[in-house]
Amino acid sequence: MSNRTIRAEQASPLRRARLGRNWTLEDAVFAIDRASGGPTGATPSLLSAWERGKIRTSLRYRKLLCELYGLPAEVLFAHQDPDRAQAGLTAPESVLVLRMVRPHPELLAAMIDVVHGAREFLAVTGSRSREAAYLEAIELAVAEHPGLVHYRVLFGPPRQQVLTDHLVRLLALRDPADRSRGHKTMHIGLVDTAADSPERFFVASESEAVIVVPSLSGADPFDTGIVLGPDAAAGLILHAREAYAGAKPVESPAALAALSVKHRRSAGGE
């Protein structure tokens, strides 16, 4: 028995289905996009995380993969759902709300904790970031973990120059054109808010996420957040990935410099 056969037998059902077709991760991503009629936001690294059970596949992708491989969800995703009697395509997603955090210092600490825990994925959205400790934590995570896949999605131009400066530093740390790990690991995109796309604020790793919500103490500040568990965090990573797929890349210092910083004051928030 070959080493490849042994590895296949020990692999998850999702990986065995791919290997059974003699597909690479890149082949499978191409097949997913072709079956859906266009880019889905799937990447080889994301598919690998699904196969290893590091991230739970969302309902949208489960449906695509079940159709692609011709297998039911309870078989294909058994490694992701060991405690579920059924994992059908209509099964509700498990969203574990860990806690609410407020005021702003507690919110900031929770967001930095998410960044510190990121090893495979770090997704950040919003255009209001201005907290030095938070931005420095993101830069440190990118610098210390070369394989970390980072998504930063802006909704409109940065509100503060400090955010633009942060993004320029990220580009100095990691070239978006680099494919030395077989895939892109730095993604910075701008969603045109003139197209009525609402701004949203969250930070998510493979294990935890924080969503910033309207304040409970006033109309202006963003000083309240909801801490979510790994299932919801995986969903938010996909959210950021899909938002980036529809965004305009701003992945050079020149592209960032061309953005008009609004300099609008934002109390607290992401």
Element containing residue 227 per DSSP (H, E): strand 224-228
Domain 3-76 in CATH 3.60.21? The answer is no
**pLDDT at site 114:** 93
CA atoms of 100 and 92, how far apart (whole Å) = 22
Instruction: Encode pLDDT of 64-78 as tens digits.
Output: 899 999 888 888 988
Residue 270's closest CA among 155, 182, 142? Answer: 155
Pairing of strands 97-101, 209-213: unpaired
> Which tens digit of pLDDT belongs to each residue from 122-156?
999 999 999 999 999 999 999 999 999 999 999 99
Burial (CB count <10 Å: 0-12, 13-18, 19+), residue 11:
middle
pTM more than 0.85: no
Q: What is the pLDDT of residue 142?
A: 96
> Can you list the residues of the chain whose pLDDT is less than 70?
1-10, 82-97, 194-196, 218-220, 262-270
pLDDT at 90: 35
Assigned CATH topology for domain 97-257: Endonuclease; Chain A (3.30.870)
- Any idea where the domains of the chain sit in the sequence? 3-76, 97-257
